[in-house]
Amino acid sequence: MISQDEVKKILLDDMLFSITGIRIPLRPVRNVPKVNYNEHLLSPRSEMLLDLLTPISKEKLRKQFMMDDMEVIFMEEDDTDPLYSYFESTEIGVYMEFWICHNIRCQCGGKFMKYINVNKPIVDIRCVNPAHKIEHGPKYYQIKTTLSGSVYNNYTYFNSKKQYIFVGSKRKGYYAHYLKPTDNLETLIGYMCIEYDKINDTTIKINLDKSFIVSPNMLSKIDDYFYKYITLSGNDAVLYNINMCNIYTLRQIYNDNNIINTTHKYDTIIYDKDDIKLAIKLFNKYYKYKLKYMALKNNL
């Protein structure tokens, strides 16, 4: 068993490194089978600590790390999607977030609200119904919009037949996609992919049959991932598992006016509950990690 003093040395070294950038070499604390946690994007020190825990404690802490990371990622600004500016008009993309909040309801019947930060990564809108349950699917959605006919190296922004969607940073999106039904699904997201034609500078026509919604079935019993990352033409994309996701055309849930005047102003309530300063969030996250390590010391 590793001693509490040795755990404290690891924690103090981490704290020193966070302040000074200086790392004190540590002797190997225990010869244990090496488990590769790189797929979970943990630091080497996190891997070291997890390797010393019992399997139950290890999995519990790993899932807590995942939730902490997503809390921080939701606060960050997204400047990592190289295809966003190619396929999407920022004005149309933001406008469609408002349009969806006013015209589309969550499967639970609740309203969607958009985040106050227009550059928030991974999530654009969320259901704010307090009665939202897991059987209603994800509460978070990202919206993708593209002009009909737009291609990048022969690829469209999304494709319902080939089940892919181009995304931004894999690091930021990992815990919103790479999940199985047995994982904590609080951070799992869905997609609303909107294709439109431009009629003039202020008017667009939404293609209701080519636009679609990907809503993961969070009650699925299939032991597989809802999404998997792939690389297309040098850029990150996700494949959604059609056996684990409900796919709807926009026409199936909305069959009203699809000619949109983009100068119309919506009086949408903006969701800003989680938009706090990133520096404060990161500071709190660091010490939350330390507390979690110490809380588990009796299991070491």
pTM exceeds 0.75: no
Q: What is the largest CA-CA distance in the chain?
A: 70
- H-helix or E-strand spanning residue 270: strand 270-271
Q: Do 87 and 146 contact (CB within 8 A), yes or no?
A: yes
Which of the residue ranges 159-163, 179-183, 261-265, 275-279 would you say has the lowest mean pLDDT? Answer: 275-279
Confidence of residue 37 (pLDDT cuts 50, 70, 90): very low
pLDDT at position 296 is 47
pLDDT tens for 10-35 read 555 555 554 444 444 444 434 433 43
Confidence of residue 279 (pLDDT cuts 50, 70, 90): very low
Look at 187 and 83; give whichever has higher pLDDT: 187
Q: For the chain, which residues make up each domain, given as ranges?
A: 4-74+279-299, 84-273
pLDDT tens for 216-233 read 999 999 999 999 999 998
pLDDT tens for 78-109 read 444 555 555 555 678 888 988 999 999 999 99
How is 115-180 classified by DSSP, letter by letter? Answer: ES-TT-SS-SEEE--TT--GGG--SEEEEEEEETT--BTTB-SEETTTTEEE-S-HHHHHHHHS--
Query: What integer is the mean pLDDT of 65-85?
Result: 54
Which of the residue ranges 69-78, 223-232, 265-274 would you say has the lowest mean pLDDT? Answer: 69-78
Length of the chain: 300
